[in-house]
Amino acid sequence: MSLSKFTEEDYKVINESYAQLKEAAQKRCANQEEMDVVQKAFDFANEAHKDVRRRSGGPYIIHPIEVAKIVVSNIGLGYKSIAAALLHDVVEDTDYTVDDIKNLFGDKIASLVDGLTKIKIVLDNEDRAKRLEDVYSESLQAENFKRILLTLNDDVRVVLIKLADRLHNCRTIDSMPEYKRDKILSETMFIFIPLAHRLGLYEIKSEMENIWLKYKEPDAFNEISALVNKNIEGQDRQIDDFIAPIREALTSSGFNFEIRKRVKTPYSIWHKMQTKNIPFEQVYDLYALRIVFTPIAETKESERDQCYHIFSIITGIYRYKPDRVRDWVKHPKSNGYEALHCTLMSDKGIWIEVQIRSKRMDDIAEKGIAAHWAYKKEGYISENDSEMDKWLAKVKDILVSPDVNALELLDIIHNDLVSSDITVFTPKGEQKSISKGATALDFAYSIHTEIGNKAIAAKVNMRLVPLSHVLKAGDQVEIITAENERPKREWLQFLQTRHARSVVIDYFKGMKKEIAEIGRKTITEQMEGAGYRMNNESAELMARHFGIPGRNIEELYFRVGLGLIKPDPTLADSLSSITPSPKSPWYSNLFNRRRDIQSPVSKERSNYVIATCCRPIPGDPVIGIKAPDGTITLHKKSCPVADSIASKHGDWVITPKWETDTDRTGFPARLSIKGIDRVGLLNEISRYISLVMGVNMRKVYLSSDEGIFEGYIDLNVHDKSALERMIRKLSSIDGIQNVVRTDL
């Protein structure tokens, strides 16, 4: 931020921006009294931020105005939240206090502003210096995210306004330096996008995803956007022709509805291409229609039944793909989303996804939790009680746990946000939701703690299975118990849900002394075998590295004894970053192991190493993660591991200057290939790669089944442009249908 006198043009921009907010707020505010509060908040914030400018050079007040616009238009919050959004930076950036806000605007608005201000508290230099001593075990960013999530305990509107704030920061991210962009976008992908998804804010989620892709993978974003625009120009008329008979049939059936056209976003297309290993041409559901209807009151059909009625009408007109039907009307998503999805084949041979929603379902899909609570407040009781409140209760339970530090919390919440649920059934047919990947024992603990504690086996679909059996959607599960059975330590090796793991860990806390002794002996044996003498100082270093609250040595031993922390090789790696001993034979072994997994980029830049999680090559957009020893690990900007690190330790992020290394034999890359088999195809592929391109093939794996072949080729390339030339040429070979770059 900077100070300089506003010009007439600045005041004109401010007034125009506020006029747009005012127009949106008038539709949401119940009366003039509420609008007066919004006006008062704007006048106060406008004066407080007078002559203050953002990094882009524009008036700072534009930021809170834009945040307030998102709050009312994209989320649908009321006048108190609009006022809080306008005021959200006043306490942090000016001399005004929360008490000043309270005196002028009342307790609730002051509470919202206070919550937003606490999230953005910056530690003073002295406190920060102390924190930097523990940089590997404590993270200022993780603490900051913990503050954000803790506001869920007080008022979820604070989190919603914070999401609006983050969206506007993403919209204006172009004015920031590259390393700052990378940090903010990594945070956005790791926490804010999953949080928006969990809270049902699809519009905000989609926009943040597209901004992330635009800056993390600019070539992919531009190419996909161009292909989408080209497809729209060619097929827009065909979509209209597809809609016409649907519109006619629904109208004649007496439905009050609207049909909206939608094209998949660049991010959703890119994500599908990455996860399915397919080119753009094979993303067949580029187009979607949304049928939003107002339920007919003068009928015995329920809102849900009317969705199915519409489904029967449109599938009577067009053929549908049975494996693409998604019924989130009968089984809503855990974020409250309700809709019926199907994919239909048009007369022109185009697959088109159709989403069927009532007006209420559409409001909840667009506005998320805010709309859900608004309908609940009006006395609307859904046929399916939303899982939203249950999820919030679970998050609150995690947040108040004394055993979870900020870094652990960030990973727990991230995993919970991105996990999906499956539906399973009890022996009596009662429906239960549980995390995808959960085991039979997780299910037992979800029913009751004592059932889990006394479980010995399970029957899944009438078949006897061990407690470690991973459940699938639709399974019917029966737990077999024994009165004398007790939890076992090995259960922690396969339990997936946090609730079940917490119950088992709590059970063993009654034996903490004995288990800690087992852990102490395990660590001592490992350390002595590595040439170290075990003492309290080295134990404290380990406890610090693993983020154990208060560097509690007994807790470290307890977790090792339970098998929650594995001493080898993770424990050794932790010491190498804190107190390495070059004379120790163990240190030499560690160095060799690290060299195997991360090879230097060049002699001139020997402090650059390539991350094995994503293996970037020159030409890829890269982000640098700098370690305390000066080593810079290069990741692709879109690498989820890099997003995870940068979201917790933003001060490790740098913008590397990485150029093609002509002295190097090449960088490892993989091409996955699929097509129609024929005689001589492999010879033609290998001849082009080796002789024409002069590229060294490291490994070739191709298999053929009933005339269709697929497989991959591992090779060394100098840069991305050479790889792209190879993809284009291989794609032109007769018989090859699909060539894409995939992860090694």
Cross-strand partners of 53: 2, 59
Residue 261 DSSP SS3: strand
Cα Rg of the chain (Å, integer): 29
Instruction: Write down the H helix ranges in 400-511.
Output: 406-418, 440-447, 449-453, 498-508
Two structure tokens written together for 665: 């034999």
CA distance 142 to 144: 5
Cross-strand partners of 741: 671
Torsion over CA: 325, 327, 333, 336 (sign): positive
DSSP class of residue 706 equals: T
Per-residue CA distances from 158 to 33, 145, 229, 418 (Å): 23, 13, 37, 21
Q: Choose, from 9, 36, 51, 92, the residue flagged as catalytic.
A: 92
Encode burial over 550-574: b for 16+ CB neighbours within 10 A, e otherwise.
ebebbbbbbbbbbbebebeeebbeb
Burial degree of 407 (CB within 10 A; 0-12, 13-18, 19+):
buried
Two structure tokens written together for 69: 């616009």
Two structure tokens written together for 66: 């834009």
CA distance 685 to 389: 56
Q: Choose, from 34, 36, 47, 93, the residue flagged as catalytic.
A: 93
Q: Which residues have a Cβ under 8 Å from the Cβ of 195 and sit 6 or more positions away?
A: 159, 163, 417
DSSP 300-358: S--HHHHHHHHHHHHHHHS-B-GGG-EETTTS--TT----EEEEEE-TTS-EEEEEEEE
- 92 catalytic? Reply is yes
Q: Which residues have a Cβ under 8 Å from the Cβ of 194 and sit 6 or more positions away?
A: 414, 417, 418
Angle at 453 between CA 489 and CA 420, to 5 degrees: 85
Cross-strand partners of 624: 634, 654
End-to-end CA distance of the chain: 44
CA distance 530 to 441: 37
Preceding omega of 569 cis (within 30 degrees of 0): yes
The residues assigned a catalytic role are: 92-93
